[in-house]
Amino acid sequence: MRYGYFDDAAREYVIDRVDVPVSMTNYLGTQRMGTVISHNAGGYSWLDSPQHHRITRFRPNGVPMDWPGHYVYLRDDESGKYWSLSWQPTGLPLDEAKYEARHGLSYSRFKCDYQDISAEQILFIPREAGKEDPVEIFDVRIRNNSSRERNLSVYGYVEFSFHEIDMDNQNFQMSLYAAGSHYENDAVLCELHYEPNAWQFFAGNFVPDGYDGVREAFIGNYCTERNPAGVNTGKLTASHELGGNPCGALQKKLTLKPGEEARVLFYLGTGKGDAAEKARKRYDEAGTDEAFAELRSFWDAKLGGLQVTVPHENMNRSLNIWNLYQSEVNVLFSRFSSFIEVGGRTGLGYRDTAQDAMCIPHAEPDMCMKRIRQLLHGQMKQGYGLHLFDPAVLEKEETDGFKSPTVIPEADKKGMLHGLKDACADDALWLIPAIVENVRESGDLSFFDQEIPFADEGSGTVWDHMKAALDFSYEQVGSHGVTKGLRADWNDCLNLGGGESAMVAFLLVWATNHFLDAARAMGRKEDEAKYTALKAHMEETCRKQLWDGKWFLRGFTAAGAPIGSQAAVEGKVHMESNTWAVISGAADREQGLSCMDAVDEWLYTPWGLMLNAPSFVTLDDSIGFVTRVYPGVKENGAIFSHPNPWAWVAECMLGRGSRAMKFYDALLPENQNDKMEIRQAEPYSYCQFIMGKDHTAHGRARHPFMTGSSGWAYYAATRYMLGIRPGFEGLTVDPCIPAHWDGFEAVRKWRGAEYRIKVTNPSHVEKGVGRILADGKPVETIPVFDEGIHFIDVELKGE
Ligand code: GLC
């Protein structure tokens, strides 16, 4: 069963059955202001932080789901019938009213046909305004398809937030008297009286025929957004008040002749009345069109960094549009703004952000570098990263300004600097490949010598920071000589403390590989020698201590008991240790083939690879919280999406292109478009996890959009399956594809030049480059061209 389809030409996902059992979400905004919005226009906006600067309110995990939102209502002022342009909140019977929602890149479009009126609402946040006066535009068009004149009212409605998420949800004896609404310059304003710069506005490109600034006045007692009193009666009450629940409701009356169309614009933004006036001037109809066109070209340019043509329709669709888009949104908004993370946390998760920033440096170079600088600053001198931290707090100067006696608890820097006991073993290691991939992309070696402070004391060059991360991990080893698991490794629920983590050991080897590549590029021979030796020793230890005959152990508990062995009944085979054994290069070929066969045998499902199997059912705190999680859910035997691409990389390194594609296809959301009755999730984004075999709802995906699965899927598919990898000195094209592919094409922009890559596969092999031509001339490696268009022909011959 399906609820929608892909419109590739428009780069939109079209939901033509809007009664989807779950929210299908999208993200608006490409700079400071963001909005997460559902296919029914439910959702909320923020500026900079979804925790500390909320613009609109959301009632998460509620019934009806996804209320409230950024709504537009229409009312036939003769019959009194009214409806919303998104199916919710009025929720008319779908056999009477026709609805469609379209999610595009940083905009969403809601369409409705009812009572011979067709109407459309586009929501987007213009780019150029992002920096100073961000504003979300509701671009509304209404057309009279009937043969008589129609008198209509159009209403825009938003519910303002108390700015701080805690204030929205608790301490109402304070909150309800700290925010107020005003009406100035034909706009409804909402202020947070105790904060100097916390004005929000809702305005239109018209002089309103009515307004309300108090939620209860617009909605009415014992009504909801489904039947708000203001729309039901057709009369808004000009309410505004200091205190209470502020909202923005604006009414505009229209008379439309047969066939006539009208356009109405609403603006939601931050700032006072003059900001509303500025928005109105800047985004009149022509300004709005221009801003929308600019947003479209912004995305054209981004996606243009790499476009592929492969003989796999959904792979093209994913790599050329949705997978990159999702990865970008993750880098931009981090993880804490969704319908799942509803703003109660702010800042950056260390490992998640590092991995996000590693995966798409070609498309988002500035943002990835910004994230990397923030993470470097969030690293302790001892080498580990602050697991969750708010860079704004680190950067903030301590002041002795006015302290409010109540209200908002402020995050303080000291509290954020956690000690070793709260350190995760993997966090800072991810930063090394993230840095190195970004420098390979830009070619800017001087970044390694930039000075950046540590979170606690002192500062060091980027190079020093990388060494601190490596040194920390090489020192933190347990009784078998394998790296300790500490509070957790990548798997939040594997809490080994002084026990040892195979995954971290292999990740350390991989991070060292990246570091050594950089050391060679920088000519830092001493460091090259030192870390080559440390790495060789760790690899040796891993091969000896962690090999269990058929696959690799996941680690050891603090008491030395093996986890993930052939002898185990629960948690026998784990994805992290086996994939990383191969990716790191630490496993020898026989071990690699055997352990990835075990992954296929034990973990494969048609919905993707499970994280471990069989799920844990016996509580064992020496392994960790994972043994307290329901079997088949999240880290305990679910198809956790994020590590799935690790298996694609591993299979590509082993040269098994068909196997990699089998795993890729199982997880690819676009492949599941017609299986909504089971997967129950938006088919254009990777979800955090899918229920595993040990759960009754096997195949059901949860937590879309904000997940590291996306970056990794993009990274694995483009760099390993298609094999296009920038290096310090040249571009590698070393694909690993199914043998039946005749080849593929790709256009990759890199360091000022455009590479038009054509891969041919006349012998129908899975891997192995036979010859490379660069602009017609045979070459060993594809050189860095600083400009121009260059034609790269790669013929596969087999290994
Ligand atoms: C969540 C966390 C991530 C962690 C993963 C596995 O996705 O955001 O940091 O690695 O779970 O536990």
pLDDT in tens, 290-302: 999 999 999 999 9
Q: How far is the CA of 3 from the centre of ligand 1 (A)?
A: 29
Q: If DSSP states are collapsed to H, E and C, what string results for 614-660?
A: CCCCCCCCCCCHHHHCCCCECCECCEECCCHHHHHHHHHHHCCHHHH
Pocket lining: 635 vs ligand 1, CB cutoff 6 Å: yes
Looking at residues 469-490, what average pLDDT do you find? 98
Across-strand partners of 56?
160
Q: Residue 733 pLDDT more than 70?
A: yes
Per-residue pLDDT, 170: 86
Ligand 1, closest atom to CA 335? 8
Q: Using omega within 30 degrees of 0 as the cis cutoff, is the peptide bond preceding 704 cis? A: no
Q: Residue 265 pLDDT more than 60?
A: yes
Q: Residue 242 pLDDT more than 70?
A: yes
Ligand 1, closest atom to CA 491? 12
Per-residue pLDDT, 308: 98
Q: Residue 131 pLDDT more than 80?
A: no
DSSP conformation letters of 414-445: HHH---GGG-BSSHHHHHHHHHHHHHHHH--G
Ligand 1, closest atom to CA 707? 7
Per-residue pLDDT, 512: 99
pTM for the model stands at 0.97
Q: Enter the DSSP assignment of 386.
A: P
Looking at residues 148-177, what average pLDDT do you find? 93
Pocket lining: 351 vs ligand 1, CB cutoff 6 Å: yes
The pLDDT tens digits of the residues spanning 313-371 come to 999 999 999 999 999 999 999 878 999 988 877 789 999 999 999 999 999 999 999 99
CB 67 within 8 A of CB 41: no
DSSP conformation letters of 9-47: TTTEEEES----SS--EEEE-SSSEEEEEETTSBEEEEE
Q: Ligand 1: which residue has its CA nearest to atom 8? A: 352
Q: How far is the CA of 264 from the centre of ligand 1 (A)?
A: 43
Per-residue pLDDT, 401: 61
Q: Ligand 1: which residue has its CA nearest to atom 3? A: 352
Q: Enter the DSSP assignment of 321.
A: I
Residue 411: pLDDT band with limits 50, 70, 90: low
Ligand 1, closest atom to CA 352? 9
Ligand 1, closest atom to CA 492? 12
Q: How far is the CA of 338 from the centre of ligand 1 (A)?
A: 15
Nearest to 648 by CA among 218, 237, 323: 323
Residue of 330, 334, 486, 490 best suited for mutating to test ligand 1, as the one with most atoms within 8 Å of CB:
490
Per-residue pLDDT, 403: 59
Q: How far is the CA of 327 from the centre of ligand 1 (A)?
A: 16
Pocket lining: 555 vs ligand 1, CB cutoff 6 Å: no
Residue of 641, 642, 707 best suited for mutating to test ligand 1, as the one with most atoms within 8 Å of CB:
642
Q: Distances from the Cα of 330 to the Cαs of 34, 378, 538, 796, in angstroms?
A: 12, 19, 33, 35
The pLDDT tens digits of the residues spanning 49-83 come to 898 899 999 999 999 999 999 999 999 999 999 99
Distance from C-alpha of 555 to C-alpha of 580, rounded to nearest angstrom: 13
The pLDDT tens digits of the residues spanning 429-443 come to 999 999 999 999 999
Q: Distances from the Cα of 623 to the Cαs of 187, 291, 542, 691, in angstroms?
A: 58, 53, 19, 21
Q: Residue 662 pLDDT more than 80?
A: yes
Per-residue pLDDT, 69: 98
Q: Distances from the Cα of 612 to the Cαs of 491, 580, 626, 707, in angstroms?
A: 11, 14, 11, 19
Residue 799: pLDDT band with limits 50, 70, 90: confident
Per-residue pLDDT, 347: 86
Per-residue pLDDT, 562: 98
Q: How far is the CA of 416 from the centre of ligand 1 (A)?
A: 19
Per-residue pLDDT, 579: 99
Pocket lining: 352 vs ligand 1, CB cutoff 6 Å: yes
Q: Residue 104 pLDDT more than 60?
A: yes
Per-residue pLDDT, 400: 57
Distance from C-alpha of 318 to C-alpha of 330, rounded to nearest angstrom: 16
Q: Which residues contact 226 (CB under 8 A, 6 or more apart)?
A: 64, 89, 90, 91
Q: Which residues are catalytic?
A: 492
Chain mean pLDDT for the chain: 96
Q: How far is the CA of 172 from the centre of ligand 1 (A)?
A: 33
Tokens linked to 640: 């956790």
Per-residue pLDDT, 406: 52
Pocket lining: 625 vs ligand 1, CB cutoff 6 Å: no
Residue type, 689: F
Per-residue pLDDT, 132: 65
Looking at residues 369-374, what average pLDDT do you find? 98
Distance from C-alpha of 165 to C-alpha of 53, rounded to nearest angstrom: 8
Per-residue pLDDT, 757: 98
Q: How far is the CA of 687 from the centre of ligand 1 (A)?
A: 12
Per-residue pLDDT, 412: 76
Burial 209-239 (b: 16+ CB within 10 A, else e): ebbbbbbebbbbeeeebbebbbbbebebbeb
Looking at residues 218-225, what average pLDDT do you find? 96
Q: How far is the CA of 320 from the centre of ligand 1 (A)?
A: 26
Looking at residues 308-317, what average pLDDT do you find? 98
Per-residue pLDDT, 408: 57
Q: Ligand 1: which residue has its CA nearest to atom 6? A: 491
Distance from C-alpha of 99 to C-alpha of 119, rounded to nearest angstrom: 10
Q: Residue 409 pLDDT more than 80?
A: no
Per-residue pLDDT, 396: 77
Q: Residue 515 pLDDT more than 80?
A: yes
Q: Ligand 1: which residue has its CA nearest to atom 1? A: 492
Give the 3-state secondary structure of residue 223: coil
Pocket lining: 688 vs ligand 1, CB cutoff 6 Å: yes
Residue 395: pLDDT band with limits 50, 70, 90: confident
Pocket lining: 330 vs ligand 1, CB cutoff 6 Å: no
Residue 171: pLDDT band with limits 50, 70, 90: confident
Q: Which residue has better confidence, 597 or 49?
A: 597
